[in-house]
């Protein structure tokens, strides 16, 4: 089900990891950001749009992780954009003939591996490096590319609606997840990204996973994520509601992610 969060901006939340797909209304159709996961959810989204007389005229993947590269035939075949580095990473992954089998193996036991369509997986069109706006017939959607979490990761800012689509950042349930395998310093890259997002005058924030927040919550999440990254860097005690006994029920595994990141950083050092 689509939920309106601002004029002309709606969110569909998946039952898997509170994954958020975002729909932005344009003049001739909609922009669909991070389309979603399971087949029945994507088909439901397509049906909702069809009943509203809307078609998807453009897609966008905020970054090249599997859960942000899926698509479904019922959504049509519009151009699906990503930053140049995002598209390059997706193409590199698809060059491996075992990629799709590896995704299914990775998800074994979750229950969703049987409900994914991978025939259109990762078919992203690269926007030229330095592109500032999504090329489409709708409100201005600014691309805010940075060096955190994944190659070519980009948030989107729907300027006329004050909505920041944050990709896999600024979540109320997930801690910052660093790109420990990239060439850049993962700590400084993440801190730089938070400083960049802090300059966006948004009234609504939509994380890739988690709850939609208002302007106050956006400020809180930036501060919380910065505190986490600094504590991870400095090895100081953590006081984060996403970890330990205060973690949301069902999200206790986020503590394992933290432990893995701490070990990964130690290994890089």
Q: What is the pLDDT of residue 182?
A: 77
CA–CA gap between residue 220 and residue 213 (Å, rounded): 10
Secondary structure class of 86 (helix, strand, coil):
helix
Give the pLDDT band (50/70/90) at residue 56: very high
Q: Is the pLDDT of residue 15 over 90?
A: no
Instruction: Please provide the CATH number assigned to the domain covering 2-268.
Output: 3.60.15.10
CA–CA gap between residue 157 and residue 9 (Å, rounded): 11
Instruction: Give the DSSP per-residue string, 205-258.
Output: EE-SBS--EEHHHHHHHHHHHHHHHHHHHHTPPP--TTSGGGSPTT-TTHHHHH
Q: Is the pLDDT of residue 188 over 90?
A: yes
Q: What are phi and psi of 102, to 5 degrees?
A: -65, -35
Q: Is the pLDDT of residue 85 over 70?
A: yes
Q: Where are the domains of the chain?
A: 2-268
> What tens digit of pLDDT does each residue of 157-168 get?
999 999 999 999
């Amino acid at each position: 089900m689509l939920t309106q969060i601002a004029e002309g901006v709606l969110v569909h939340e998946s039952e898997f990891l509170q994954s958020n797909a975002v729909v932005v209304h344009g003049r001739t159709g909609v922009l669909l950001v991070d389309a979603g996961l399971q087949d029945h959810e994507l088909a439901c989204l397509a049906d909702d749009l069809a009943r509203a007389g809307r078609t998807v005229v453009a897609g966008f993947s905020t970054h090249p992780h599997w859960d942000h590269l899926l698509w479904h035939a019922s959504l049509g075949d519009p151009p699906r954009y990503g930053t140049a580095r995002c598209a390059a990473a997706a193409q590199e992954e698809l060059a491996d003939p075992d990629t799709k089998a590896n995704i299914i193996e990775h998800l074994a036991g979750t229950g969703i591996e049987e409900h994914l369509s991978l025939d259109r997986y990762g078919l992203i069109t690269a926007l030229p490096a330095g592109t500032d706006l999504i090329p489409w017939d709708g409100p201005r959607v600014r691309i805010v590319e940075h060096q955190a979490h994944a190659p070519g990761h980009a948030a989107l800012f729907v300027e006329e609606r004050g909505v920041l689509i944050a990709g896999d950042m600024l979540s109320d349930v997930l801690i910052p997840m660093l790109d420990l395998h990239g060439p850049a310093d993962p700590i400084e890259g993440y801190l730089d990204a938070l400083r960049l997002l802090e300059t966006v005058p948004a009234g609504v924030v939509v994380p890739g996973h988690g709850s939609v927040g208002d302007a106050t919550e956006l400020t809180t999440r930036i501060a919380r994520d910065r505190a986490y990254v600094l504590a991870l860097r400095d090895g100081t005690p953590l006081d984060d509601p996403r970890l330990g006994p205060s973690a949301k029920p069902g999200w206790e595994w986020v503590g394992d992610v933290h432990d893995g990141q701490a070990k990964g950083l130690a290994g890089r050092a």
